[in-house]
Chains A and B, each alone.
Chain A
Amino acid sequence: MLIRPPVPPDLRSSAITPESLYLTRREWLTAAGLTVGAIAGATALFPRRSAAQQALGKPYGLQVDDKPTPWDDVTSYNNFYEFGTGKEDPAEQARGFKARPWTVKVEGLVRKPGDYALEDFVKAGRVEDRIYRHRCVEAWSMVVPWRGIMLADVLKRAEPTPGAKYVEFTTLYDPARMPGQRVPVLRWPYTEGLRLDEAMHPLTMLATGVYGRDLPNQNGAPLRLVVPWKYGFKGIKSIVRIRLTDRQPSTAWNESAPGEYGFYSNVNPTVDHPRWSQAKERRIGEFLRRPTLMFNGYADQVASLYAGMDLRRNY
């Protein structure tokens, strides 16, 4: 239980994204600007380029081949209802949020519970950079270069007792600092949960940064969950409590609409959301839609977790 499973070989990537790639993309933008009249029609199908495309300074560990979504999009288009329900609200309303000092409580069915200052909390594991696909339940997607530690390392340090079966996560509840919590669009504080084996999986991350920088407030500063084979809302933000339990935790979206958002919420193109299809997705920056992959493309790594389960029922 406490031993981290080996990282699958196809994820141990040697592909280091060279800085020059990002620099040439800027040049492409300039060229495009000059010749736009001639190529207007053809480029309509090309991905958009961000003028503020960020140069990545550090090599990345685990990653996918997909091109990272530009910084501007990653940090200005997301759901974080604690800071408003519009996609661009969080970037606006979280601007003055103070994410330090920050304390994370680890409790429940563990031998070593504790309250950690964020700086001590992240000492549980090695900080890594990983590029993951991110698929929102609303059928849009991104590719995000996260920085963070493995949740498994945090759990190992806490030493779960044999009765521990699930992990429950809780977001900060502070309506004075999170204005969205003054409106009852969801049950506050936001909570999420994972089965212990999902939580221990080597893909499951607690992110403290994006694009090699500290996590911007709107993306869930200072600490958020990243589970790349699940829909984005499972990635609970601004975590203050991690609790190990023996029964399945209640989750915010599941309470809000049980028929639409299940506990598992694995990315699955064959199981539709009741109100829309999940077969395809629109990658932010691309015009044409692409097919959604089973477990968001991480089937080789995670499908075994759900062997024998009816995924239509356990959505």
Chain B
Amino acid sequence: MGRPRWWPWAVWVIVLVPGPLVVAALVSDFVLGTRWLGSNPVKEGELLLGQWTMKYLVAALAITPVRRIMGWNWLQKYRRTFGLAAFFYGLTHFLWYALVDIQLDGAQLADDLTKRTYIVVGFATLVVMLPLALTSTRAAIARLRHRWVTLHRLVYVVPVLGIVHWWMSVKADVGPPAFYSAVFALLLGWRWWHARRETSGHATTPPTSPSA
């Protein structure tokens, strides 16, 4: 595709913009009395950052199916962008919880990370994403070779943990996590179906015809 060279950088900027905006909205709400984040800006910002994590996770996992189905190979290089963005928002979501929400209350942090299952699961999601983010450089890919592929299969665990974390945190309205569950089921289901089709050797031929 004939896109300008700065295009990938523009995608990065667009992807990262919501983060600083949420932080700016929080500061504005408390300092200027605006209502960008509503009545409870701390909670709202925390939710937004968690939701952006899920959105970019969807984007990262959608690249391969969309590329295969539509034949858009140029999409491939944005898989890393979206994957790293998901990690960035997950990390920011955690930092927001620790610094802005519970305000470094050590006792509560220790309590939450041991007793509150949904927080433990949320933290585990971040921990699983960490090695993936750290090994996303070109050098790491070259060094790890086939082990890189194995390691990065961990990405399939991330939406499962993330959804469990989200689902467990809601009081009664499971609508949004249920919607994302369906989307992830579709994205992971496609991979499973695709992998099965390839290994069984029936890639393009109907079952009645003899396969090569």
Contacts and interface: CB of A to CB of B under 8 A. Distances in A.
Nearest to B116: A275
Interface residues of A, number: 39
Interface stretch (B13-21, B39-47, B136-144): B39-47
A185 B173 contact: yes
B38 A77 contact: yes
B173 A85 contact: yes
Contacts, number: 73
Contact of B31 (A43, A51, A138, A256): A43
Interface residues of B, number: 27
Contact of A140 (B35, B43, B103, B117): B43
Contacts of B206: none
Interface stretch (A58-66, A145-153, A211-219, A280-288): A280-288
A308 interface: no
Given A140-B40, A275-B169, A48 B118 contact: no
B32 A275 contact: no
A49 interface: yes
Contact of A29 (B33, B108, B111, B118): B33
B168 interface: yes
Where chain A touches its partner, the secondary structure class is loop
Contacts of B117: 275
B33 to A, nearest CB: 5
B168 A51 contact: no
Interface in A205-239: none
Contacts of A256: 172
A76 B38 contact: yes
Ranked 9 nearest A-B pairs via Cβ? A77-B39, A85-B173, A73-B39, A49-B33, A185-B172, A48-B33, A284-B39, A43-B31, A40-B31
Interface of B: 27, 29-33, 35, 38-40, 42-43, 102-103, 105, 108, 111-112, 116-118, 168-169, 171-173, 175
